[in-house]
């Protein structure tokens, strides 16, 4: 779908619940438009009445029929609960959306495309069902074509999972656009895909094809993009998920790395792996890439959410002193400074010629 979607976001009963974070992510960062929200408990209000920071003025309505007035193209299942199952209260809305011919988009573990009733009704109405976690059917093996893309590729890497790598790249995308550039966020995980409207959940791809999937993602950016900002996954320090991280490192063939870290975190969560100093960690990434497709770490994105302003500024200054690289918390202080670092590095990048 090249056109932007016009989303009805289904949050029925969850408009103020953290499990609607998928919906909030799409409202705050999404490239597609949110034209209405369905939540019968809050019908008549607007999203901004509950969540002013999301910058979303969409009206809240009580039914698919009401939402159709806003000419939506798609229904987004806006909740990610623990089990990954569709909440029973959502089912009638999904069916009504299917009957109305809307595309239905879901990030749940339970695939819409494996639900017999949804599939049958979708065949009748012509509606499409998009399970964003399901990788495409035919992913080619890595070919080396990623070495020849015309745009610069920047990849977020980090000291652990769930430290804000996606948010960093989304904030950099906004800052780049404000600065007049044409960056594009490239989604590699479920929430990122819903925000971007496209992408591949690389951790769900068969391991032989994770580099191929990563390559397809950087080949598939919009025409005119100057910098692809690829959402990272996992960490090279993570005993369980490092292979996915390496799949992005080799498959995206990045020119530039942005190193993300939660200020003060000493070990990888769940495992007793010590996180080295940021300078060493940056160098580790550069070394792994050096023999295959070199890239430089050009900025440090710190997540200082757990610190007060004074300590946040001190942590940023310390990271800069230690690494000699620009550092910032892009959520707290904006992404202009780190975007400038990425843009400088991008300008200095000579896209390397075919390695194959």
Question: Which residues would be at the binding site for a copy of itself (CB under 8 A)?
Answer: 141-142, 144, 202-208, 210-212, 236-237, 239-244, 246-247, 250-251, 253, 270-274, 276, 284, 287-288, 291-293, 355-356
Measured CA to CA in angstroms, residue 317 lies from 10, 141, 168 at distances of 42, 42, 18
Comparing CB distances to a copy of itself, the nearer of 168 and 253 is 253
Closest approach of a copy of itself to the CB of residue 20, in Å: 25
Q: How many CA atoms lie within 13 A of 308 on its CB side?
A: 1
Distance CA 171, CA 349 (A): 22
Cα dihedral 140/143/148/150 (nearest 10): 10
Closest approach of a copy of itself to the CB of residue 315, in Å: 22
Closest approach of a copy of itself to the CB of residue 190, in Å: 12
Find all residues with CB under 8 Å of 139, minimum gap 6, and list them.
Answer: 200, 205, 209, 212, 213, 216
Comparing CB distances to a copy of itself, the nearer of 4 and 287 is 287
Closest approach of a copy of itself to the CB of residue 271, in Å: 6
Closest approach of a copy of itself to the CB of residue 250, in Å: 5
Closest approach of a copy of itself to the CB of residue 293, in Å: 7
Comparing CB distances to a copy of itself, the nearer of 124 and 355 is 355
Query: Containing H/E element for 36?
Result: strand 33-38
Residue with tokens 């892009």: 330
Comparing CB distances to a copy of itself, the nearer of 57 and 270 is 270
Among 124, 127, 115, 125, CA closest to 86: 115
Comparing CB distances to a copy of itself, the nearer of 4 and 352 is 352
Tell me the three state secondary structure of residue 77: strand
Comparing CB distances to a copy of itself, the nearer of 92 and 294 is 294
Q: How many CA atoms lie within 13 A of 354 on its CB side?
A: 3
């Amino acid at each position: 779908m090249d056109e932007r979607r016009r989303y009805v976001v289904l949050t029925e009963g969850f408009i103020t619940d953290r499990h609607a974070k998928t919906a909030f992510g799409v409202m705050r960062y999404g490239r597609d438009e949110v034209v209405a929200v369905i939540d019968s408990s809050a019908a008549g209000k607007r999203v901004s009445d509950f969540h002013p920071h999301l910058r979303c003025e969409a009206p809240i309505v009580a039914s698919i029929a009401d939402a159709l007035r806003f000419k939506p193209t798609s229904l987004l299942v806006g909740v990610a609960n623990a089990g990954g199952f569709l909440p029973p209260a959502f089912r009638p809305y999904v069916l009504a959306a299917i009957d109305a011919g809307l595309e239905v988009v879901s990030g749940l573990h339970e695939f819409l495309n494996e639900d017999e009733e949804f599939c049958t009704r979708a065949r009748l109405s012509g509606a499409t069902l998009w399970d964003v976690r399901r990788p495409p059917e035919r992913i080619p093996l890595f070919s080396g074509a990623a070495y020849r893309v015309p745009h610069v590729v920047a990849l977020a890497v980090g000291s652990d999972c769930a430290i804000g790598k996606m948010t960093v790249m989304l904030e950099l995308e906004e800052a780049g656009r404000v600065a007049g550039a044409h960056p594009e966020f490239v989604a590699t995980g479920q929430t990122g895909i819903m925000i971007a409207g496209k992408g591949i959940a690389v951790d769900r791809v068969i391991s032989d094809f994770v580099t191929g999937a990563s390559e397809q993602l950087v080949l598939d950016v919009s025409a005119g993009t100057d910098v692809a900002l690829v959402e990272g996954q996992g960490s090279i320090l993570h005993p369980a998920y490092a292979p996915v991280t390496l799949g992005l490192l080799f498959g995206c063939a990045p020119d530039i790395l942005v190193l993300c870290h939660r200020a003060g975190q000493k070990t990888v969560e769940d495992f007793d792996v010590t996180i080295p100093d940021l300078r060493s960690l940056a160098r580790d990434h550069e070394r792994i890439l050096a023999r295959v497709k070199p890239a430089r770490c050009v900025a440090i994105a710190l997540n200082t959410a757990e610190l007060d302003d004074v300590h946040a500024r001190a942590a940023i200054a310390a990271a800069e002193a230690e690494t000699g690289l620009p550092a910032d918390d892009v959520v707290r202080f904006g992404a202009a400074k780190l975007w400038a670092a990425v843009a400088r590095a991008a300008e200095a990048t000579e896209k390397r010629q075919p390695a194959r």
